[in-house]
Amino acid sequence: MSILVDDDTRVVVQGFTGSEGTFHAKQMIDYGTNVVAGVTPGKGGQTHLDRPVYNTVAEAVEQENANTSIIFVPPPFAADAIQESADAGAEVIICITEGIPVADMKPTYHYVRKKGAHLIGPNCPGVITPGAAKVGIMPAMIFEPGSVGIISRSGTLTYEAVDQITRAGFGQSTAVGIGGDPVIGTRFIDALELFEDDPDTDGVVLIGEIGGADEQEAARYIQDHMDTPVFGFIAGRTAPPGRRMGHAGAIVSGGSGTAEAKFEALDEAGATVVKNPALIGETVKETL
Amino acid sequence: MKLHEYQAKGLFRDCGVSVPDGIVAETVDEAVDAARRLEDENDATLFIVKAQIHAGGRGKGGGVKLAHSVEEVREHADDILGMDLVTHQTGAEGQTVRTILVTEGVDIEQEYYLGVTLDREKSMNAIMVSTEGGVDIETVAEESPEKIQRVWVDPSIGLQPFQARQLAFAMGLEGDAFKQAVSSIRSLYQAFEETDSTLAEINPLVQTPDGEIEAVDAKVNLDDNALFRHPDLEEMRDLHEEDPMEVKAGEHGLSYIKLDGNVGCMVNGAGLAMATMDIIKLAGGEPANFLDVGGAASAETVEAGFRIILEDPNVDAVLLNIFGGIVRCDRVAQGVLEAAKNIDISVPLIVRLQGTNAVEGKRLLDESDLSLRSAVVLKEAADEVTAALGEA
Q: Let me know whether B53 and B115 are in one domain.
A: no
Q: Let me know whether B228 and B295 are in one domain.
A: no
Q: Let me know whether B8 and B52 are in one domain.
A: no
Supply the pLDDT for residue A245.
Answer: 28
Range 229-248 of A in CB contact (< 8 A) with B: 233, 235-240, 242-243, 246-248
Alpha carbons B245 and B262: distance in angstroms, whole number: 17
Q: Which residues of A touch B196 (CB under 8 A)?
A: 101-103
ipTM: 0.91
Supply the pLDDT for residue B160.
Answer: 98
- The model's pLDDT over B128-169, given as tens digits with 9 standing for 90+, comes to 999 999 888 888 888 888 999 999 999 999 999 999 999 999
From B43, B75, B105, give the residue that closes a domain.
B105
Range 7-46 of B in CB contact (< 8 A) with A: none
| pLDDT, average across residues A203-210 | 94
Q: Let me know whether B180 and B126 are in one domain.
A: yes
Cβ neighbours of B227 (radius 10 Å): 15
Angle of CA points A167, A222, A155, to nearest 5°: 45
Q: How many domains does chain B have?
A: 3
Structural domain harbouring B38: 21-105
- The model's pLDDT over B152-161, given as tens digits with 9 standing for 90+, comes to 999 999 999 9
Q: Let me know whether B115 and B189 are in one domain.
A: yes
- The pLDDT confidence band at residue A252, using thresholds 50, 70 and 90, is very low
- Pairing mode of beta strands A68-71, A92-95: parallel
Catalytic residue status for B201: yes
- The pLDDT confidence band at residue A69, using thresholds 50, 70 and 90, is very high
Alpha carbons B88 and B60: distance in angstroms, whole number: 9
* Per-residue pLDDT at B63 exceeds 80: yes
**Start-to-end Cα distance in chain A:** 19
CATH of the domain at B66: 3.30.1490.20
- The model's pLDDT over B220-243, given as tens digits with 9 standing for 90+, comes to 999 999 999 999 999 999 999 988
Q: Out of B124, B378, B382, name the one closest to residue A106 (CB).
A: B124
* Per-residue pLDDT at A244 exceeds 80: no
Closest among B325, B322, B344 to B333, alpha carbons compared: B322
| pLDDT, average across residues B19-48 | 96
For residue A133, give the DSSP letter: E
**Percent of chain B's residues with pLDDT above 90:** 70
Q: Let me know whether B64 and B162 are in one domain.
A: no
| pLDDT, average across residues B64-69 | 97
B225:A209 CB<8 A: no
Neighbour-count burial of A16, counting CB atoms closer than 10 A to its CB (0-12 exposed, 13-18 middle, 19+ buried)? buried
Spatial contact of B376 and B348, defined as CB atoms under 8 Å apart: no
CATH of the domain at B118: 3.30.470.20
A165 vs B330 pLDDT, higher one: A165
A235:B278 CB<8 A: yes
Please tell me which residue of chain B has the smallest CA distance to A208: B271
**Amino acid letter for position B206:** V
From B241, B273, B307, give the residue that closes a domain.
B241
Q: Let me know whether B1 and B146 are in one domain.
A: yes
Alpha carbons B142 and A25: distance in angstroms, whole number: 48
From B241, B262, B293, give the residue that closes a domain.
B241
A244 vs B172 pLDDT, higher one: B172
Chain A / chain B CB contacts < 8 angstroms:
190
**Amino acid letter for position B67:** A
Q: What are phi and psi of A174, to 5 degrees?
A: -150, 145
Q: Let me know whether B2 and B146 are in one domain.
A: yes
B141:A157 CB<8 A: no
Q: Let me know whether B121 and B34 are in one domain.
A: no
Alpha carbons B115 and A169: distance in angstroms, whole number: 51
Range 175-214 of B in CB contact (< 8 A) with A: 193, 196, 198-199, 201
B280:A238 CB<8 A: yes
Q: Let me know whether B353 and B312 are in one domain.
A: yes
Q: Let me know whether B70 and B198 are in one domain.
A: no
| Domains A11-120 and A138-287 agree in fold | yes
* Average pLDDT of every residue of chain A: 92
CATH class of A11-120: alpha beta
Distance from CA of B325 to the nearest CA of A (A): 5
Is the CB of residue A279 less than 8 Å away from at least one CB of chain B?
A: yes
Spatial contact of B21 and B47, defined as CB atoms under 8 Å apart: no
A238:B118 CB<8 A: no
Is the CB of residue B262 less than 8 Å away from at least one CB of chain A?
A: no
Closest among A263, A148, A272 to A200, alpha carbons compared: A148
Supply the pLDDT for residue A247.
Answer: 23
Fold of the domain spanning A138-287: Rossmann fold (3.40.50)
Q: Can you name the residues that pair with B113 across neighbouring β-strands?
A: B130
Catalytic pick from B5, B104, B201, B384?
B201
Domain ranges of chain A: 11-120, 138-287
| pLDDT, average across residues B85-110 | 92
Q: Let me know whether B251 and B316 are in one domain.
A: yes
Alpha carbons A71 and B117: distance in angstroms, whole number: 28
DSSP A198-255: -TT--EEEEEEESSSSHHHHHHHHHHHH--S-EEEEEE-TTSPTTSSS-HHHHHHTTS
- The model's pLDDT over B315-360, given as tens digits with 9 standing for 90+, comes to 999 999 999 877 888 888 988 898 888 888 889 999 999 988 888 9
